[in-house]
A and B are shown apart, each in its own frame.
Chain A
Amino acid sequence: MNNKARGFFGERLLPEFEVEPQVLHRRTRRDILLFGAGAVAALAGAGSLFPQDTLTRLGLRRNMNSRGKE
């Protein structure tokens, strides 16, 4: 069934495509590394924004206070 027959609100077929396994592996590795970098950045962001008391309670003894945070 084509998309026109499904109407405006009807769910479309997910676009499918063929890709070489090497390309797929490369893109997957790139995206997962980016995801990991994002996770590390989020943790670093939490470390710089959360109060020291909270971080200490989470087991981070190192003083991560920056000027003006608290």
Chain B
Amino acid sequence: MTRSTTPREAARSTSTLPEQPAVLVARRHHLLVRWSHWLNVPILLGLILSGVSIYWSSPIYQHKPDPLTGNFDVAADIGIWICAHVPGLHHYNSPPDWIYNHMSLGPGMLALALRLHWLCAYAFMLNGTVYVAGLIAGGGWRGLLPRRTDLLDAFRMFQYYVRLPFAKLARRQWPHPSFNTKYNALQRAAYFSVPLAGCLSVATGWAIHKPMQFHWLAAIFGGFDAARVWHFWLMWVFILFVVPHVILVFADGWDTIRGMIVGWSARVKRSEVTANEQ
């Protein structure tokens, strides 16, 4: 049986250029996961900046007013300390506001901060739904589930990260522990717990936002004031996750960053999963 050649095949057969071999790639992240991942960057930034501005109007951590300045806010104390001790900041015009000027929209913006916080909070909930849909559609949720070997593997990875800078300084080889799963145990722990922190943030946020309607929700977290404390520290969970996450992604190289943009990875061998790690 004869087969008619397509114009493309005909062009290829007459081309004098060497034919490039096809590249083998692995589909790593579903489109919805990638979209929600990157959308989280501006949303979380908006939530944190507006959240700290809201905090300014009623700080959780307070002390008795200072007899000289009348200050009662611990965050303001930290700002005063920074301006007193960091070179170049001694003449800062409003030391109590230093934290709020650098980690929030600014002091004295409660109404606007609340509006922006709610806007970002609704976007965050919608985005979380998109992320879950992407995990289900792409089957990526299985890669996030904890497994029996995680404790030992996490210790191996921790050891690797702790010793890596010294090995680099000494110009010694320090091989990466080999895992045949999509994520290593530390990554899995982080990527599993961050969505949980997101759910808790939403729950505590509703408990604070609607304390009358959701009094039962506030009660789960120990009351309105305790829900605010939860909400505040959950923000720090995100910050403490993002910093090493970004550093490690950059350290891991272009393939990892590109993978979250385009969805595929050229590191095909690492995608194999062995049965004993389930």
Contact = CB atoms under 8 A, between A and B. Distances in A.
A15 interface: yes
Size range of the interface on A? 35 or more
Contacts of B119: 49
A6 B22 contact: no
Given A35-B38, A54-B106, A1 B275 contact: yes
A6 B143 CA distance: 12
B222 interface: no
Interface residues of B, number: 41
A48 B274 CA distance: 50
A31 B261 contact: yes
A14 B26 CA distance: 6
A11 B38 contact: no
Which of B42, B143, B258 counts the most A-chain CB atoms under 10 A from its CB?
Answer: B42
A39 B26 CA distance: 26
A59 interface: no
B271 A6 contact: no
B54 to A, nearest CB: 14
Contacts, number: 100
A66 to B, nearest CB: 13
Contacts of A19: 22-23, 25
Contacts of A51: 105-106, 109, 112
A32 interface: yes
Interface of A: 1, 5-7, 9-22, 24, 27-28, 31-32, 35, 38, 42, 45-46, 49-51, 53-54, 57, 70
8 contacts: A10-B278, A11-B182, A11-B273, A15-B27, A17-B25, A24-B23, A50-B116, A53-B105
Name the 3 nearest CB pairs between A and B, nearest first: A14-B271, A18-B22, A14-B26
